[in-house]
Amino acid sequence: MAKSYASPYNFFMSQHSPLRKIASSAIPTRLALLVAIAGFSGALLAQKSVGGEECARTAGMQVYSSVFIHKETGDVLGYDLAVKRDRDLGIDALLYIYEGGNSDPGIPLSGQISNNRLNIQGTWVEHLVEYPSKKETVQEHFVKIVGILDSAAFRGDVTIKGMDRDERVRLKRTRRIWSCKNWSPSPSN
């Protein structure tokens, strides 16, 4: 004789229902997935991104990049270096750092280039937000880039003090910084 249940919920959660096992494992899994997506979306929304002004600013510069999308995590990682040579041996540059998503605005660097030997430096003023307090903090890091720059690539070292970051990099010449890859100049640019 079939057992009667007071409500559909009682049947659904009864020991005799084949759906009970699925529900008990699927609901926590789906809830965890929803929480993870919400947290990730919040992190992306809180992150500053490069706008059209930055794209226009770098449009006339030589851009070198090592940016890639990590296959397993989907994170955007690497560096973009946009350089503009002065008439003398001077050089102005913007460094973009990708640590999971779009970069913040470029870090202004300046220095010299002689016989393709690049030596630039500057200060990265990093604006951070502490969570859960949402307190804004500012950190400054000395940035130095030294290496060989030619028409096809940059090979050298990127040093960021205060972050224990000293990396040997190879950046290939590209048309635009990664954050501007879908940007097209307006007629006024």
Which among 99, 105, 96 has a CA at the least distance from the CA of 49?
105
Would you state the pLDDT for residue 82?
Answer: 97
Domain 52-180 has CATH 2.40.50: no
User: Facing residues of 63 across strands?
Assistant: 82, 174
DSSP code, position 103: P
Domain positions in the chain: 8-46, 52-180
Count CA atoms closer than 13 A to 20's CA, side-chain side: 11
Would strands 68-69 and 135-149 be described as parallel, antiparallel, or unpaired? unpaired
What is the token pair recorded at 33? 């997935």
What are the pLDDT tens digits along the chain (189 aa)?
A: 554 444 444 444 455 544 455 445 555 555 444 333 333 333 333 334 566 788 888 998 999 999 999 999 999 999 999 999 987 889 999 999 998 887 788 999 999 999 999 999 999 998 889 999 999 999 999 999 999 999 999 999 999 998 878 999 999 999 999 988 876 666 554
Which residues have C-beta within 8 Å of that of residue 25, sequence separation ≥ 6?
Answer: none
